[in-house]
Structure 1
Amino acid sequence: MDYVHYAVNKIVELCSIPSPTGFTQKIINYLVEEFKKFGFTYEITNKNNLVVELNGEEENGIMLVAHVDTLGAMVKSIKSNGRLAISKIGGFSFSTIENENCRIHTREGKEYTGTIYLTHPSSHVFNDVNSLKRTEETIEIVLDQKVNSKDDVLELGIMPGDFVSFEPRTVVTKTGFIKSRHLDDKAGVGILLGLAKAIRDFTTEPKRKVYMMFTSYEEVGHGAASGIPEDVTEVISVDMGAVGADLESNVFSASICAKDSGGPYDYEIVSKLINAANIAGINYSVDIYPYYGSDVESSLRAGHDVKHGLVGPGIYASHSYERTHIDAIEATLKLLQTYLTLD
């Protein structure tokens, strides 16, 4: 079974499901159906994290964590001209969403499309198109509806607090590049689905009990703060490896994080991940991300006594229109398969 291409196909499907932080029920339901097919035991926590038990009765369990929530926005207010002001969800620059198509999800279950524009979008009309700072005050949504007033928008059922998702524009090229919004962290989720399938097929046989957790609030800092089973002693985030200047990571390899904004990751776990990468014979890097935080750090801050690590495929242009390569998906999957078979 080609688990790598299976994972890539799942990444494409996952990217098509809107899931800004706090609006993740649809994608959690999708994952539930996938794990039902595998026959694994699962539960959904109060904060809408999905926890799946994959094997074994042994203690000293390991949990692999990926987050389903993405960057997004909420309707902040409805303007008198029928356009929408937004409040962002997660840490991104407003310049990265300018001119993107989006969807507005109402509390009644309706869905409307629109486009995110600068308030002064036309260089033929405004002389400050280049200089105008992109902020909540200068970015707005123009709805694909015939609306000219606040009352027109209210009649559609749109209101402040409605979620806004960004069009992912997912593309897989013939040369193996995967380009999309929200590869952070739907690439990680797809990899874990591929790993779960390999465990189900007994092509990967872990030495320890394995759980997977899929969180709904990572982008705002408390995804894996709760819901960790009592027999788990180790948590590894499977999230993107950031690519950029002064970093070794690239879009063709797996990245093992040694330290990020929360401090060093567990020495033993990082060393064991490096050993697994060498045994697997994959391309990998060891990196330090100065402006990065992961799910497992929220676990530690919540008081869980666990060892922690972070690994993931190299992803370029994080929190923007992201890109990686199937080689990085394969490298990360093989690293995790090897890691789980080590004592």
Structure 2
Amino acid sequence: MSRKRTLDAFFSPTVKKPKTETGAITSSDVISEDTTYSDHQFYPHPIKNLPASLSKELSTLPDQPGREINDQPDLDLLYFEPFISGSVSRRLFEFLRSELPFYRVEYKIKRGGIETQIRTPRWTTVFGLDETSKFNDKGLPVDANTGSRASDKQYARYPPRPIPKCLDELRHRTELATGCKYNFCLVNYYASGSDSISFHSDDEQFLGRDPAIASFSLGARRDFLMKHKPPPPNAPSPPSVNAKPLKLPLGSGDMVLMRGRTQSNWLHSIPKRTGKNQEDGGRINITFRRAMVKGGTDNYYNYNVGTGPVYRWNREAREMLLWKP
């Protein structure tokens, strides 16, 4: 666990001067004064801020205007193709994969009365805090209205942590482009075509009615599948819905905004991909969301951080490895 820092120092320059065995510092050991970090007591390690050149590129986003897709029942999408240009998206992909802490969350569920151990088939991480609270200048959650300190038990199981600057810059541009507000950032890393996420909808009550979710794709191209939900089994007279499945081959830098009645009526997935090609080098998915109540904070940290160890990308091994402080 990193040492405590106030939010005033959250983005302040951090200069690391590793020493050689003799204690001398060489020019190659010193990181530039321009290298800054986001730090928080519940980050496992300080998270590097974007290089100035990459930050400048993000300040002009989106690269292309969004295209509405609303020609099917209950479907309301805004598709940016791309939101981030190819070269910039590739740099951002490499940066985030190297600098963020990731987790391989395991949890138990009951199916037919039988308890099953689930290992999430992708790498995950999450940052943010629901609308009922905010971070004070010490990085601690306080009541959003009164500013009073949250009780020690309120977020004790999964202490929330602010969105680091390297992701918050993208959140800001996304809010401007979509006209929506977000307080959570979820990041998934799909290491290969065998990593996936099954059909689901993000329609939890803690997101409120008709939530808007902005979903970014960085790295390898992967198919994004959507299909309309079937009618409830106990519906007295299920309405006939003439909706066709949808497939979007998301490239690096593409963004899909799902809004309106989409989550309550459609399912989406990233299926496994068989075979190998030059684009199997990994994919990062970033989603920005807005959790309205504390249940959202508990849910997101439970299923995207959990209680397991931290992993980080190892450039030499070209894979996620267990991180040791």
- TM-score range for the pair, normalised by the shorter chain length: under 0.3
TM-score (norm. length: structure 2): 0.25
